[in-house]
Amino acid sequence: MKTTQNICALLGNPVEHSLSPVMHNAAFRDKGLDYTYLAFNVTQDRLCSALEGARALGFKGLNITIPHKVNVIPFLDELDPISQRIGAVNTVVNINGRLKGYNTDAAGFRRALEDKGIDPAGKHVVILGAGGAAMAVSYSLAEAGAGITVLNRLARLNQAVALTRNLPSGPGKTARALALNPENLAGSLETADILVNATSSGMYPKMEETLVPCRLIRPEMTVFDLVYNPLQTRLVSEAASAGAMTINGLEMLVWQGALAFELWTGLSAPVGIMRSEALKALGGRPEKPAGRREPAGATALPTSIALTGFMGSGKTTVARILAEITGKRLVELDRVIEVNAGASIPEIFARTGETGFREIEIEAVKEVSSGRNQVISCGGGVVLNKINMDRLKESAVICYLEVSPEVIMSRMQSQDVEKPVLADPADREEVARLIRFREPFYRAYADIVINSTGLSAEDTARQIVERLASHARRN
Ligand code: NAP
């Protein structure tokens, strides 16, 4: 029997939803390493025994997650200077039986910012939360020379105060702790360059939650939500709609994982593979309440087709032709929204703003997803909410109509645009930014991608029918 000593593991509670096993096992495979990554649920009273077990069995390394990042420290033999300074450990390396703690969350956060070309030096950063993640993030920002405001709930304001006291000090490095309340939030965001959500607000299953009213988000701000499940939190979605640059938690997750991989193996991490495996796992995960069963006799096969894509990608025309070819019922999501709201889309925007529109859209998607045998033409922004896409995926094959930005621009300039969010098609830069932002979401949720640039609507519909057949054979 083959045995392997090369085991890395995650210790936390809970760990069932962790993406670390898929990321690390894919990275080990990619590098041809005989390593395995496992996840263990460990309660606080068993943490010491779990670490001793890992040591005794010669595990190569560990990741430590909620709720053990701070409590693990007394059980380790050594800390690297950064994890010591932060007071939290998320990675452990077993060096010949000695367990050494590191913190790759801090550097992972910094790499995610750098990837977006953001240098925090001299910026004012507002951090929501004062837990393990906030400790790493604030350390990394203070090191980089940012001014920091940490907001935490009043009952645990002392945690935020302790956190700020512990930060590196020096010229320009200011840090303050305030109670998280509407006044302090509004006041501190007035001058914020970067907002970081380091709380679990907005995380599955509380996806409707956000701590920041969208009126407080300014387009010049960068909004970084550490939550990665869902990928597109309500905060990220609203910040993007407000014109802010957004970064989701997946970027930090991938980088903290990549840095841990490098500590365990001494090799450079295949970051692209880790990111795409994590993204796949997030997109494909059936996030239903545990124990939920399909009703008896229900078929698991989707019978509908949902067309997604940017405004001007031809969804309406292609959906109409597709409905004719397949004999399925044509459903235009925007029309369902208008009927339900008793108002046109421009009127809904005028009355309730984009936030109100998105709320009505969620209800419309819920309604439409319960139907069968439909061709659903979706609004361009439907992919911004994971709840919508999870619902659609239950009954429909998702088909993304990819069209080049140039074609979208020219089509938008030659048609009546209904949604005030894009009412000025001459603003090419804004449209290009929106296309760039949404594109990964269209792609991540798609079962089928059709590049229809240069194709007629009829040819696009025919291609979809062909691809549906091979999709059905594969599944
Ligand atoms: P933690 O140590 O449990 O701390 C959670 C913090 O969030 C605490 O400050 C808590 O406030 C605050 N909080 C929770 N729910 C809140 C709410 N509804 N309103 C206001 N504050 C709330 O957790 P953590 O390790 O810091 O993780 C925080 C988040 O970051 C989680 O969503 C986690 O998934 C994410 N994270 C992401 C990465 C990544 O790589 N992307 C890495 C680490 C963590 P109190 O002190 O008042 O309870």
d(Cα 31, Cα 52) in Å, to the nearest integer? 29
Three-state DSSP at 391 gives helix
Predicted confidence at residue 400, as pLDDT, reads 95
d(Cα 445, Cα 383) in Å, to the nearest integer? 8
Give me the sign of the Cα torsion angle 156, 158, 161, 165: negative
Q: Which tokens sit at 21?
A: 């096993």
Q: Residue 162: in which H helix or E strand, if any?
A: helix 157-165
- Give the residue, by CA position, lying nearest to ligand 1 atom 18: 201
d(Cα 410, Cα 343) in Å, to the nearest integer? 28
Active-site annotation holds for 69? yes
3-state SS, 98-140, equals EEEEECHHHHHHHHHHHHCCCCCCCCEEEEECCCHHHHHHHHH
Cβ–Cβ < 8 Å for 172, 145: yes
Give me the sign of the Cα torsion angle 167, 169, 171, 175: positive
User: CA–CA distance from 430 to each of 285, 424, 437 (Å)?
Assistant: 32, 9, 10
Query: Residue 133 CA: which ligand 1 atom is closest?
Result: 26
d(Cα 172, Cα 402) in Å, to the nearest integer? 47
d(Cα 17, Cα 39) in Å, to the nearest integer? 10
- Give the residue, by CA position, lying nearest to ligand 1 atom 23: 131
Which pTM was predicted?
Answer: 0.66
Q: Compute, in angstroms, the gap from residue 203 CA to the centroid of ligand 1.
A: 9
List per-residue pLDDT tens for the chain, 475 residues long.
555 569 999 999 999 889 999 999 999 999 999 999 999 999 999 999 999 999 999 999 999 999 999 999 999 999 999 999 999 999 999 999 999 999 999 999 999 999 889 999 999 999 999 999 999 999 999 999 999 999 999 999 999 999 999 998 877 679 999 999 999 999 999 999 999 999 999 988 788 899 999 999 999 999 999 999 887 788 988 888 788 888 999 999 999 999 999 999 999 999 989 988 888 787 633 333 332 333 333 334 577 899 999 888 889 999 988 888 877 788 889 988 887 888 888 888 888 888 889 889 998 999 888 888 889 999 998 998 888 999 999 889 999 999 888 888 777 766 544 444 445 555 677 788 888 888 888 998 999 999 888 888 888 888 888 888 777 666 6
Q: Is 177 in the pocket of ligand 1 (CB under 6 A)?
A: no
- Give the residue, by CA position, lying nearest to ligand 1 atom 40: 253
Q: Where are the extended beta strands (E) located within 211-363?
A: 222-225, 245-247, 304-308, 329-332
Query: Residue 251 CA: which ligand 1 atom is closest?
Result: 41
Q: If you search the block for the tokens 């990394």, which residue do you land on? A: 140
Q: Pocket of ligand 1, candidates 10, 15, 199, 250: which has the most ligand atoms within 8 Å of its Cβ, to mutate?
A: 199
Cβ–Cβ < 8 Å for 29, 46: no
Q: Is 133 in the pocket of ligand 1 (CB under 6 A)?
A: yes
